[in-house]
Amino acid sequence: MSIVDKYFRRINRLRISVTELCNLRCIYCRPEGGLELTRHNDILSYEEIVTVVRHAVKMGIKSFRLTGGEPLVRRDIECLLRMLGKIQGVEDLAMTTNGIYLKNYAKALKEIGLFRLNISLDSLDDSKFERITRGGKLKDVLDGIDEVVNLRFKNTKINVVAMKGINDDEFGEFAKLTLERDLEVRFIEYMAMNKESLVSEDKFVPMADIIDIVERNNEIIALPPPTLGSGAAKIYKIKGARGILGFVSAVSQPFCNSCNRLRLTSDGKLRSCLLSGGEVDLKSILRNNPTEETLTNAFICAVNLKPPVHSGKGHVVMHQVGG
């Protein structure tokens, strides 16, 4: 079975936010003064997430990514990964992490069978990294990346949110991380969340400008996207490098026409789009004797809510949706 929306996009990917909690307070994700978190009883249990994934597979969804918050702060996250890894039909199981705890978890994640990792990293300067994350230590993330490379994880991505006046002077150095390592450094356009426009005059750098900056000191060539986990990035490579570069233009050049994903929030909302389109309260279904029919109808409803293009508005609570 496969599930197709009203605009003939086949939906085969699901992002799952397993927690709102995080050990960092990055400037583009969380307010400086903190936020009110959902009670633990009101977020989905591991068993409920497994139920969703089992049914998603029946609906033709084969690729799953765990996000947060920070997924590695949720207690016994390895148990969830083991349960998901045993579900027949799961072809791709990945995780997005800020990397702070990765050195300690990487070996276990590899042994459990996690397919891929995306690691968020927005500066290679210690003091700047601490300012962006409001307290994080760069060395923790770099040590985690070293461990992932040593364990030979495949298709590892380093996610860099491009911010004018903050880290745009580091794009070239980020690109050089791919020279000797089999990594994809992925530059992501900054989204001004919770504002009327996604474009923030003080921080937004369009993809074309990011590529120009990288090209100043590097000879790069365009590549076709890889089959696994390519998403919507435009793929390049520094000539002679082991790794590759990705450029994600959700703001300047939206790729909604090829969007193939749904999102499950930590409190059980099945969202049709990161920014707009609506959602289905899956938690209430899961906690009221769900049947195959009610779960199927929930997925179909969410898929039918997917808009042809996102609204361009930034009203979204990123720590709940998972990016």
The domain segmentation of the chain, as residue ranges, is: 3-321
Question: Distance between CA atoms of 102 and 235, rounded to whole angstroms?
Answer: 26
Instruction: Give residue 43's pLDDT.
Output: 96
- The single-letter code of the amino acid at 278 is G
Q: CA torsion angle for 271, 73, 13, 187 (degrees, to 10)?
A: 100
Residues 64 and 260: beta-carbon distance below 8 Å: no
Structure tokens at 79: 């148990």
Find out whether 246 and 228 touch, Cβ atoms under 8 Å. no
* Cα–Cα distance measured from residue 89 to residue 28, given in angstroms and rounded to the nearest whole number: 35
Please, which residues have CB within 8 angstroms of residue 243's CB and are 6 or more apart in sequence? 177, 178, 179, 181, 182, 183, 184, 185, 237
Length of the chain: 323
Residue 145 CA: distances (Å) to CA of 37, 124, 208? 29, 13, 28
Residues of the chain with pLDDT under 70: 32-34, 193-200, 226-231, 311-323
Stretch (H or E) spanning 131: helix 126-133
Amino acid, single-letter form, for residue 15: R
Residue 299 pLDDT: 97
SS (H, E, C) 39-79: CHHHCCCHHHHHHHHHHHHHCCCCEEEEECCCHHHCCCHHH
What's the CATH superfamily of 3-321?
Answer: Aldolase class I (3.20.20.70)
Q: Which residue has the tokens 């996207």?
A: 225
Chain segment 140-198, per-residue pLDDT in tens: 999 999 999 999 999 999 999 999 999 999 999 999 999 999 999 999 999 876 555 56
- In this structure, are residues 183 and 149 in contact, taking their beta carbons and an 8 Å threshold? yes
For the stretch 16-50, pLDDT in tens is 999 999 999 998 887 766 677 788 899 999 999 99
Report pTM: 0.92
Cis peptide bond upstream of 172, omega within 30: no
What is the structure's pLDDT at 213?
95
